[in-house]
Each structure stands twice: as C-alpha cells, then as structure tokens.
Amino acid sequence: MVSRNVVRRSLFGCCVVSVLAASAATSWGQARHSTRTTIAVSPVNTAVGQTITLTARVTAAAGQGAPNGQVEFDDLAATLGIASLEETDGGATATLTLNTLAAGPHPITARYLGNDDFVVSMSAPVMNIVKPR
C-alpha cells in the first residue's frame, strides 16, 4: 500500500522546488521507511543548448538515517538520466547536469528508486521552458 501527499510547491528566484511524499509497507507487513523527494531546477527557464542543473533531495523521518541509492530524473515519460545519492545533512542529494533539452515546455520530476529500507517517492513536476535560440 502506497500513499502520496503533495506537500509544497514554491518558486524561488533561482529555481522551483516541488515536493511529494510517500510511505509504504511491504506485503508481509514489514514497514519500510517513508521518504520525501524534492527537486530544484536551475536556472528555471533556459535556451536550447544551455546547461541546467537538476538537484534532487531525498529525506526520511528523523532517526531513520539517510536514504541511499539512485534518483531518476524524468521529462514526462522520458528518462533524462540517473544519479547516485550522496549523504548530506538530514538526507541525501543527487545532481544531474545536462544541456540536451529541446525547445518547449518540460515538466521535470525526480523519482527516488527506493531500496529494501526506504520506499520509492517522487517529486511534483517542475516546469522548465526551453526557448529556441
């Protein structure tokens, strides 16, 4: 059983951050730790060929440790790339830098892939508009 709740979506001067939380239990009743994934896109709007940085932050409740594993960055159903989490204060982050987005709107999400101890979670989408050159 997985439950998801949109927690927050905020616009900052440099980026947009979106949050979606999830929790689950295995089918045999052993609870895995819930996680929350946020994504930051910087800069938010770009031109074709311009480099953007996608940063996912994955956290668990206090006392459960930092999630580990990988984060998949997606543009709708297309995978942009996968990055490994690195432990940071109170959680873990994964970063992907790219310059391959075509002109147009791109709803970008980060999806923590989970593991035996932590459940999968996904950020809410952040819209990135790529302008033609």
Domain boundaries in the chain? Answer: 2-131
- Please answer whether residues 121 and 110 qualify as being in contact, where contact means their C-beta atoms are separated by less than 8 angstroms: no
Tally of CA atoms within 13 A in the half-sphere of 91 that contains its CB: 15
pLDDT of residue 34: 94
8 Å CB contact between 13 and 41: no
Q: Calculate mean pLDDT across residues 25-33.
A: 61
Closest residue by Cα to residue 6 from 127, 124, 125: 124
The first and second tokens of residue 7, run together, are: 């927690």
Residue 52 and residue 128 in contact, taking contact as beta carbons nearer than 8 Å: yes
Taking only the tens place, the pLDDT of each residue in 81-124 is: 999 999 998 899 999 999 999 999 999 999 999 999 999 999 99
Give how far the C-alpha of residue 95 lies from the chain's centroid of Cα atoms, to the nearest Å.
9
Look at residue 31 in the predicted model and tell me its pLDDT: 74
- 71 confidence band (pLDDT: 50, 70, 90): very high
Q: How far apart, in whole angstroms, are the C-alpha atoms of residue 64 and residue 49?
A: 40
pLDDT of 12 above 70: no
pLDDT at 6 > cutoff 50: no
Worst-scoring range by mean pLDDT, 13-22, 50-59, 90-99? 13-22
Rounded alpha-carbon distances, angstroms, from residue 52 to 36, 80, 94, 131: 23, 12, 14, 13
Superfamily of domain 2-131: Immunoglobulins (2.60.40.10)
Per the CB < 8 A criterion, the answer to whether 33 and 75 are in contact is no
